[in-house]
Amino acid sequence: KPDIQVAHHDGQVTLWVVFVIMLIASAVFAGMSWTVPLNKRLYHVITTLITIIAALSYFAMASGHGVAIHHIKVRVEHEHAPDTFKYIDRQVFWARYVDWSLTTPLLLLDLAFLAGLSGGHILMTVVADLIMILTGLFAAFGAEDTPQKWGWYTIACIAYLVIIWHLVVNGRALAAARGGAVGKFYSSIAGFTILIWTAYPIVWGIADGARNVSVDGEIIAYAVLDVLAKPIFGLWLLITHAKLAETNVDL
Ligand code: RET
């Protein structure tokens, strides 16, 4: 009996709802850029691009593109026949990795400019981030019954620790040096970011990795995280930036 795991009604509706949220957020962020002088718009540009890319990715997923059926061979525990296998077909939304490979570097740029990270540190953080997302993609399509799949996952987690290191250690010290208000704001928004981001590998491990959650459950979990990580993060950043002159970037 084939085991087929695909999105149903709740997942479909969720994908369309998040598409609309990302579209509205993009319009709002673009509109907000007109309320500040030209030299204060860098965060607006970055943050609007993030939600535009997310909207495109959600449109692809909702309309049935950006998704592949992953045919997975799974070993079945069987006392007398150790080489017994079954097959599971599960949808893998590869559009997420396209989205994340573009939007997570942009989110990190927002935080890096806020803290005033040096060019070298920004480059290391962004490259660690790309390694995290792309090795996560390898893990998503990795074959079962090989150590590679969770090996790629482990590499992605190590890359994620590199990102956290740069945000927490270098970022916090530099942000604090830009003034008490910037230091405090950076600590709050970077702390929020790390909290939300850390949920992604947990959802991945349970849903994509171990397949203990339905495809609909996975879509809903990522939807909540994506809305927090992009529109809510962006709104918080842009509103605070407008009020805090010390967050300006000379770029
Ligand atoms: C994966 C799986 C492999 C291990 C790790 C992951 C981390 C993903 C993260 C994603 C963040 C996405 C965001 C999207 C924007 O809305 C690739 C899931 C560590 C941190 C913030």
pLDDT score of 80: 85
pLDDT score of 82: 80
CA distance 141 to 84: 21
In ligand 1, the atom with minimum distance to the C-alpha of 156 is 4
Q: How would you write the chain as a 3-class SS string? A: CCEEECCCHHHHHHHHHHHHHHHHHHHHHHHHHCCCCHHHCHHHHHHHHHHHHHHHHHHHHHCCCCCEEEEEEEECCCCCCCCCEEEEEEEECCHHHHHHHHHHHHHHHHHHHHHCCCHHHHHHHHHHHHHHHHHHHHHHCCCCCCCHHHHHHHHHHHHHHHHHHHHHHHHHHHHHHCCHHHHHHHHHHHHHHHHHHHHHHHHHHHHHHCCCCCHHHHHHHHHHHHHHHHHHHHHHHHHHHHHCHHHCCCC
- The Å distance, Cα 34 to ligand 1 centre, comes to 32
Give this complex's ipTM: 0.98
pLDDT score of 155: 97
Pocket test for ligand 1, best of 26, 200, 225, 228 (most atoms within 8 A of CB): 200
Give residue-wise pLDDT tens across range 205-249: 999 998 999 999 999 999 999 999 999 999 999 999 999 988 888
pLDDT score of 171: 97
> How large is the average pLDDT for residues 170-199?
97
Give residue-wise pLDDT tens across range 89-146: 999 999 999 999 999 999 999 999 999 999 999 999 999 999 999 999 999 998 776 7
pLDDT score of 1: 55
Q: Ligand 1 in contact with 226 (CB < 6 A)?
A: yes
pLDDT score of 6: 96
Q: Ligand 1 in contact with 93 (CB < 6 A)?
A: no
Q: Ligand 1 in contact with 133 (CB < 6 A)?
A: yes
pLDDT score of 224: 98
pLDDT score of 144: 74
Q: Ligand 1 in contact with 113 (CB < 6 A)?
A: no
pLDDT score of 151: 94
- What band does 2 get if pLDDT is binned at 50, 70 and 90? low
- The Å distance, Cα 201 to ligand 1 centre, comes to 6
